[in-house]
Amino acid sequence: MSETSNEKINAKFIEINGVAQTFKTRKGVFPALRDINLNVAQGEFVALIGHSGCGKSTLLNLIAGLTLPTQGTLLCANREIAGPGPERAVVFQNHSLLPWLTCFENIYLGVERVFGAGGRSTGAASESKVQLRERTNAALELVGLSAAAHKRPGEISGGMKQRVGIARALAIEPKVLLMDEPFGALDALTRAKLQDELLEIVARTHSTVVMVTHDVDEAVLLSDKIVMMTNGPAATIGEILAVDLARPRSRVALADDAQYQSYRKAVIDFLYTRQGHVEKAA
């Protein structure tokens, strides 16, 4: 592959062109998204923010391939997204761990599929069970949960479950990590801790991340780019804000940072002044 086409992939790792999504409901056709155009570069951290019902999760599901668009195209690494797959791992809002499997087994399930016998479509050799276990343990260690490896999800806290969810997604070495309000159900302190951990993990793994959130601080702290969505129905991208803060970022240092505050202000201004409240717009 030539230098230029490589660069093209890097800048437009995820490419969304003219995507619209409508749902058929009992009351008729509901337009959820329209005219979505968005590029995500490799290694970029993008946050999707907006009021509830603005279709940010719908957009994430489209990138995941869990739903297909009514109009337009989505590309990932120059290939059309035709369905879900392990190269676009999803961290679900409610963690979605299988309650009858231990944390280890939950992660191993994906690892076995991607790296085990018959899993690799690229022709790479499948790995032995020892290697698969090593990968699983490494993922658990990455989120600091080696001690809870053989506990079931019912036996650990909400924050730990969400960390297992992140480990499960990261263990399969996805090209893109998709996160749907991953910390939404957690208390503020646990959320902050996990955000810090995520910052570290992303710095280490150079992951490409698309994250849905409704938390302004979370968006500014974590992302390189904040995609602000207008209110639904027929929501679209209202504005894209590039967050140009140096990494590694520290929440304590940034609290007094003027630039951080101005980004924060810009997002709040968009959400509350220009987009107002959902009821008013509808």
Partner 1 sequence: MVSTTNTIPAAAAPAVAAPPERDIGAMLSSLFMAALPPLMGIGLLVGIWALVSLGTKDSIPSPLETWRQAVEIFSDPFYRKGPNDLGVGWNVLMSLQRVALGFGLAAVVGIPAGFLIGRFNFLSRMLNPLISLLRPVSPLAWLPIGLLVFKGANPAAIWTIFICSIWPMIINTAVGVQRVPQDYMNVARVLNLSEWKIITRILFPSVLPYMLTGVRLAVGTAWLVIVAAEMLTGGVGIGFWVWDEWNNLNVKNIIIAIFVIGIVGLVLEYMLIKVATAFTFEEVKS
Residue span binding partner 1 (CB under 8 A) among the ranges 8-16, 33-41, 147-155, 237-245 = 147-155
The distance of closest approach from Cβ of residue 31 to partner 1 in the complex, given in angstroms and rounded to an integer, is 22
Is residue 83 a contact residue for partner 1 (CB under 8 A)?
Answer: yes
The secondary structure of the chain as a DSSP string is --HHHHHHHHHTSEEEEEEEEEEEETTEEEEEEEEEEEEE-TT-EEEEE-STTSSHHHHHHHHHTSS--SEEEEEETTEE--S--TTEEEE-TT----TTS-HHHHHHHHHHHHHSTTT-SS-PPPPPHHHHHHHHHHHHHHTT-GGGTTS-GGGS-HHHHHHHHHHHHHHT--SEEEEESTTTTS-HHHHHHHHHHHHHHHHHHT-EEEEEE--HHHHHHH-SEEEEEPPSSSB-EEEEEE----SS--HHHHTT-HHHHHHHHHHHIIIIIIS--HHHH-
Residues 156-185 that bind partner 1 (CB under 8 A): 157-158, 161, 172, 185
The distance of closest approach from Cβ of residue 94 to partner 1 in the complex, given in angstroms and rounded to an integer, is 6
Is residue 90 a contact residue for partner 1 (CB under 8 A)?
Answer: yes
Is residue 100 a contact residue for partner 1 (CB under 8 A)?
Answer: yes
CB 10 within 8 A of CB 41: yes
Is residue 229 a contact residue for partner 1 (CB under 8 A)?
Answer: no
The distance of closest approach from Cβ of residue 239 to partner 1 in the complex, given in angstroms and rounded to an integer, is 30
The distance of closest approach from Cβ of residue 7 to partner 1 in the complex, given in angstroms and rounded to an integer, is 29
Is residue 94 a contact residue for partner 1 (CB under 8 A)?
Answer: yes
The distance of closest approach from Cβ of residue 66 to partner 1 in the complex, given in angstroms and rounded to an integer, is 6
Nearer to partner 1, 8 or 152 (CB): 152
Is residue 101 a contact residue for partner 1 (CB under 8 A)?
Answer: yes
The distance of closest approach from Cβ of residue 59 to partner 1 in the complex, given in angstroms and rounded to an integer, is 16
Residues 23-82 that bind partner 1 (CB under 8 A): 64, 66
Is residue 126 a contact residue for partner 1 (CB under 8 A)?
Answer: no
Residue numbers at the binding site for partner 1 (CB under 8 A): 64, 66, 83-86, 88-90, 92, 94-96, 98-101, 109-110, 113-114, 152-154, 157-158, 161, 172, 185-186
